[in-house]
């Protein structure tokens, strides 16, 4: 199934969202923002659309083995 074609403004908006999400995850990785602060922002569009797994993997010392450990 082919993906629908996106208009130029839709591509620009998607690129802007990816850049903002990347910046948020970089702040988590350097310790400027805690995971609790990201979850507290869940009402905001950016934090609400960021996957929990991505946020947890951005935390230093947490990888797939630690995140998915039962």
What percent of the chain stands above pLDDT 90? Answer: 57
Give the model's pLDDT for residue 66: 85
Give the model's pLDDT for residue 34: 93
Give me the mean pLDDT over the 26-47 stretch. 91
Among candidate residues 60, 58, 50, the one with its CA nearest the CA of residue 18:
50
User: Which residues 6+ apart lie within 8 Å of 4 measured at CB?
Assistant: none
Q: Residue 2 in 3-state DSSP?
A: coil
Q: Residue 62 in 3-state DSSP?
A: coil
User: Which residues 6+ apart lie within 8 Å of 20 measured at CB?
Assistant: 46
- Distance CA(47)–CA(38), nearest Å, equals 6
Asked if residue 68 has pLDDT above 90, the reply is: no
């Amino acid at each position: 199934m082919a993906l629908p074609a996106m208009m130029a403004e839709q591509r620009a908006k998607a690129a802007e969202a990816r850049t903002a999400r990347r910046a948020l995850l970089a702040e988590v990785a350097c310790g400027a923002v805690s995971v609790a602060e990201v979850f507290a922002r869940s009402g905001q569009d950016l934090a609400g659309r960021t996957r929990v797994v991505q946020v947890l993997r951005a935390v230093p010392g947490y990888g797939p083995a630690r995140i998915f450990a039962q």
